Structure 1
């Protein structure tokens, strides 16, 4: 595992056949996952049950641990949710 000073450690990582990167992460509270597409989109799954998706072109969506969803558009998509 590799430490990064951000409160989580990478437990595995790789690149799929399309050139997209992914990694599994270990947090003190559980496990998470991150995926980044070479087209600019990315996705986080967090140990608290929340998820965050950013399309890379002006749209993002955050799902909270309680199940509520917030969507972001335009400039807000680049700043919101994570």
Structure 2
């Protein structure tokens, strides 16, 4: 992933009453990003390029590219046999 250590300004951040933290950044040129992390260990990122990343805090995560393709990884609850491939059309 390209590193963007600068070129942005913080828009807002804080923690809500449920203990969930969020942070929003402005990269200029209508390019914004934000992330939040929840008290249950899950977290979500929305990136300036339009991609998103979600981790459920239990070892399973989903990345969605700017073009809309989703990629899942992780252990989750481990149901089913190991022979099934994930379908790219799950939306």
**RMSD between aligned residues:** 1.7
Match of 1:77 in 2: none
Question: Which segment is superposed worse, 26-35 or 52-61?
Answer: 26-35
Distance 1:12 1:70 in 2: 29
Q: Which has the higher contact order (CA 8 A, sep 6+)?
A: 1
Say if 2:36 is the partner of 1:26. no
- Unpaired runs of 5+ in structure 2? 76-91
- Unpaired runs of 5+ in structure 1? 75-82
Higher helix residue share: 1
**Where do 4+ consecutive residues of structure 1 move more than 4 Å?**
none
